[in-house]
């Protein structure tokens, strides 16, 4: 068995991905057992066992009390799920997701993958980082390092593009967390200047606004709140997520909302959706301004705004950033995949540095003097002290 035995994992709030540097020295996404590149970060429990991913997400619509999703937001909290006498908290549930990701990648590549770099939001504190590492160990992984998500995205951008000397602001808005990181990229040197964020802000909150809007419309027609039914609520979340996706490419959308034998057709335009999430968008700009202040930079001094995270596909977000910086943001990297690809590059670099195993010649060559020869200087997002 040849090939690298270390993977990069983007452990996301709503979707997770795995990537690896192949034998030719190029990072690539590893598909899961369903032959899809994104794995829903959902765990479903029943008497027959535990399901993870697409099937778990589908079953969660009809039995939400047996499913756990958005678990990344609960890292460090006391929330737990009891299953067959076991009390599972966020690290254990995240470990179940990571185990599926590892096993699927091993099955696809045909070899053991015991090592990993796992990404975390830049604004995760030390407790959440430690628990994320614990989740990796629960999944049977030796965690080489935890890497900040915006830094991973910048690595992928730097590998795929020639960057002479730029100050880059990474605007990372995923399904459940938001980060802004400002970095100086000079060739293959990446120096993080400042970071800020909110780990309770993301695409889920936009879905919530659509759900609230739909529930009010339904109640005005039929006189009762459809969200009181847990199954209906699960179906509403699926419909809201689909509506959000549609509005990124279409000016308007509609969907049927059914509850207790009644039905309403909910219509939503792109402009109306922008109004629903305007306060959330302004919250991201507040965080952005704080990061700029920490870096002692003005908006005009930022050379590039790089968009990461699926929620950055929303036109209202791109428009707000265009207005703030006076130019459109950079959309050259895949917002869903950049973090995993950067983590895979960093995993290869860590394997080279630690000399755990002999790397394929092409990978070694790329790390020493090729596109993978990166130098990352990151910072902590929270001050550390002794009490």
**Annotated catalytic sites, by residue?**
10, 72, 149, 172
Q: What is the 3-state secondary structure (H, E, C) of 214-277?
A: HHHHHHHHHCCCHHHCHHHHHHHHHHHHHHHHHCCCCCEEEEEEEECCEEEEEEEEHHHHHHHC
Nearest residue to 290 (alpha-carbon basis) of 383, 182, 362: 182
| Residue 97 DSSP code | H
Cα–Cα distance, 374 to 274 (Å, whole number): 39
Q: What angle do CA 328, 178, 289 make, to 5 degrees?
A: 60
62/66 Cα distance (integer angstroms): 9
CB atoms within 10 A of CB 216: 12
Q: Which of 383, 387, 381, 330 is nearest to 124 (CA)?
A: 381
CA of residue 16 relative to chain centroid, distance: 7
- Residue among 175, 115, 189, 125 at smallest CA distance from 145: 115
């Amino acid at each position: 068995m040849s090939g690298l035995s270390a993977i990069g994992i983007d452990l996301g709030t709503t979707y997770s991905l795995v990537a690896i540097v192949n034998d030719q020295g190029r990072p690539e996404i590893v598909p899961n057992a369903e032959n899809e590149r994104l794995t829903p970060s959902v765990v479903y429990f029943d008497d027959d066992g535990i399901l993870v991913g697409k099937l778990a997400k589908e079953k969660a619509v009809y039995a939400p009390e047996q499913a756990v999703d958005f678990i990344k937001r609960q890292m460090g909290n006391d929330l737990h799920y009891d299953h067959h006498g076991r009390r599972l908290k966020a690290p254990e549930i995240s470990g179940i997701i990571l185990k599926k990701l590892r096993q699927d990648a091993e099955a696809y590549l045909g070899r053991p993958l015991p090592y990993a770099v796992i990404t975390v939001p830049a604004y995760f504190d030390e407790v959440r980082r430690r628990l994320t590492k614990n989740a990796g160990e629960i999944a049977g992984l030796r965690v080489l390092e935890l890497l900040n998500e915006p830094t991973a995205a910048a690595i992928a951008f730097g590998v795929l593009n020639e960057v002479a000397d730029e100050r880059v602001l990474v605007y990372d808005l995923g399904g459940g967390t938001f980060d802004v990181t400002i970095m100086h990229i000079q060739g293959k040197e990446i120096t993080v200047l400042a970071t800020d964020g909110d780990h309770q802000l993301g695409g889920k909150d936009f879905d919530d606004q659509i759900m609230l809007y739909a529930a009010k419309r339904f109640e005005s027609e039929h006189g009762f709140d459809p969200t009181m039914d847990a199954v209906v609520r699960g179906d509403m979340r699926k419909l809201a997520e689909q509506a959000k996706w549609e509005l990124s490419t279409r000016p308007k959308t509609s969907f049927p909302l059914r509850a207790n034998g009644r039905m309403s057709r909910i219509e939503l335009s792109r402009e109306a959706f922008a109004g629903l999430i305007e306060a959330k968008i302004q919250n991201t700009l507040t965080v952005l301004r704080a990061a700029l202040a920490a870096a002692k930079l003005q908006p005009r001094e930022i050379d590039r705004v790089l968009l990461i995270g699926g929620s950055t596909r929303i036109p209202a977000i791109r428009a707000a950033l265009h207005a703030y910086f006076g130019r459109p943001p950079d959309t050259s990297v895949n917002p869903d995949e950049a973090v995993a690809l950067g983590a895979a590059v960093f995993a290869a670099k860590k394997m080279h540095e630690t000399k755990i195993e002999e790397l394929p010649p092409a990978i070694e060559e790329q790390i020493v003097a090729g596109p993978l020869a990166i130098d990352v200087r990151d910072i902590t997002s929270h001050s550390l002290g002794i009490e």
